[in-house]
Structure 1
Amino acid sequence: MEIKMPKLDVTMTEGTFLGWLVPDGTAVDEGEDLYTVGTDKVSTDIPAPIAGTLRYGPVAEDETYPVGTTLGTLDA
């Protein structure tokens, strides 16, 4: 499953990827916080939608990406 830049509100078109909260290759549980996204209003930790093994994508911390950009994957 692809992990994508979420749309945190109706007007959001991009977000800043602030970093991963767990190491690459880690097995995570559904609901466990994976990464942090920042907007001009708030920073939010984003949880895993399913249990699986986290694989980082080619994204850099503190960079801004459009909503829907693939940040990594969760292999069930």
Structure 2
Amino acid sequence: MEIKMPKLDVTMTEGTFMGWLVPDGTAVAEGEDLYTVGTDKVETDIPAPSAGVLRYGEVQSEETYPVGTTLGVLET
């Protein structure tokens, strides 16, 4: 399952990937916080949509990406 830059409100077109909260290759539970996204209004921790093993994508911390950009993958 791809982990994508979420759309946190109706006007959001991009967000800043602030960084991962768990190491690459870690088994995570559904609902466990995976990464933080920053907008001009707030920073939000984003939970895992399901259980799996997190694999980082080719994104850099504190860089801005369009909504829908693949940030990583959850292997189930």
So what's the TM-score if we normalise by structure 2? 1.00
Large movers: runs of 4+ above 3 Å: none
Task: Quote the sequence identity (%).
Answer: 84
Partner of 1:20: 20
Deviation at 1:16, TM superposition (A): 0.0
Secondary structure of 1:54 counterpart: strand
Partner of 1:5: 5
Partner of 2:48: 48
Deviation at 1:9, TM superposition (A): 0.1
**Counterpart Cα distance in 1 of 2:30 and 2:62:** 25
**Counterpart Cα distance in 2 of 1:62 and 1:48:** 20
Structure 1 unmatched ranges of 5 or more: none
What are the Cα deviations for residues 19-72 of structure 1, in whole angstroms up to 9, with x where unaligned?
A: 000000000000000000000000000000000000000000000000000000
So what's the TM-score if we normalise by structure 1? 1.00
- Is residue 64 from structure 1 mapped to residue 64 from structure 2 by the alignment? yes
